[in-house]
């Protein structure tokens, strides 16, 4: 169980199929009840999930 969970993303320009495109490196970090920070996940996406959800 985690007392706090942070989600953040950093945008990068990367070369993909011969084109330069923007990708997001997302990370999720949790703070346990004992005060220990843990990386819960790191993943790359085409866009930020919040931006995609607000476009609907």
**Which residues, other chains included, contact 35 with Cβ-Cβ below 8 Å and sequence gap of 6+?**
none
Does the reported pTM lie above 0.85?
A: no
Structural domain boundaries enclosing 6: 2-54
Strands of 2-16's sheet, edge to edge? Answer: 2-16, 19-32, 37-45
Task: Kindly report, residue by residue over 20-32, the tens digit of the pLDDT.
Answer: 999 999 999 999 9
- Structural domain tally of the chain? 1
Task: Kindly report, residue by residue over 29-48, the tens digit of the pLDDT.
Answer: 999 999 999 999 999 988 76
* DSSP, residue by residue, 1-56: -EEEEEEEEEEEEEEETTEEEEEEEEEEEEEETTS-EEEEEEEEESS-HHHHHHT-
């Amino acid at each position: 169980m985690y007392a706090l969970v942070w989600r953040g993303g950093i945008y990068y320009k990367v070369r993909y199929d011969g084109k330069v495109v923007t990708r997001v490196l997302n990370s999720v970090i949790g703070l346990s009840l004992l005060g220990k920070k843990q990386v819960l996940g790191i993943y790359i996406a085409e866009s930020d999930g919040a931006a995609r959800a607000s476009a609907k």
